[in-house]
């Protein structure tokens, strides 16, 4: 699961939808059976995509996620990019590209802060299915 995806998934238990704590899911409690594993994957830089996705990112949630994964590099404020093709913005967009699209969470667990349910990521694929007792 790319780090970007962590910025747009929330808990799927229906009663959590009304709580702000259902998003983002947290990486702060990993299990011994499924230890956290990150990997770098090369992805071609696509300036239109990064420029288009930036407005859709929840910045505070992204900071939470990246800090839980051991990265403290993000600025407190979301960068305001008027011209994505301008020279001065290129490096920032490339850094965001590397962080969001080239950081692969190969294995690990994500926790809902509202209900405590744990979702697993295995072979880079997260599983959002719920057991019978959590389905409404």
**Shortest Cβ distance from residue 68 to other proteins (Å)?**
17
Side-chain-side CA neighbours of residue 25 (13 Å): 27
Other Cβ atoms less than 10 A from the Cβ of 50: the count is 21
When the beta carbons of 38 and 130 are compared against other proteins, the nearer one is 130
For residue 98, which of 125, 71, 59 has the smallest C-alpha distance? 71
**Residue 49 beta carbon to other proteins: minimum distance, rounded to whole angstroms:** 5
- Which CB, 72 or 132, lies closer to other proteins? 132
The CA–CA distances, whole Å, from 48 to 6, 51, 90 equal 21, 5, 12
Minimal distance in Å, beta carbon 70 to other proteins? 21
The Cβ-side half-sphere exposure at 24, using a 13 Å CA radius, reads 23
Q: Which is nearer to other proteins, 72 or 82 (CB)?
A: 82
Contact residues for other proteins, defined by CB under 8 A: 1-2, 4-5, 8-14, 17, 23, 33, 43-44, 46, 48-49, 51-53, 56, 58, 123, 125-135
Tell me whether residue 29 or residue 127 sits nearer to other proteins (CB atom): 127
Dihedral (C-alpha) 24, 29, 32, 37: value to the nearest 10 degrees? 50
Tell me the closest approach of the beta carbon of residue 63 to other proteins, in angstroms: 16
């Amino acid at each position: 699961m790319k780090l970007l995806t962590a910025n747009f998934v929330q808990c799927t238990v229906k009663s959590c939808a009304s709580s702000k704590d259902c998003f983002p899911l947290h990486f702060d409690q990993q299990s011994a059976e499924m230890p956290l594993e990150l990997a770098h994957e090369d992805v071609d830089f696509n300036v239109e995509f990064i420029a288009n996705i930036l407005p859709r990112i929840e910045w505070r949630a992204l900071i939470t996620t990246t800090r839980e994964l051991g990265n403290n590099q993000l600025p407190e404020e979301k960068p305001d990019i008027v011209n994505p093709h301008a020279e001065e913005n290129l490096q920032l967009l490339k850094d965001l590209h590397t962080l969001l699209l080239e950081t692969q969470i190969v294995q690990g667990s994500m926790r809902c802060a509202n209900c405590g349910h744990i979702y697993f990521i295995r072979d880079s694929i997260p599983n959002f299915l719920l057991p019978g007792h959590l389905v409404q």
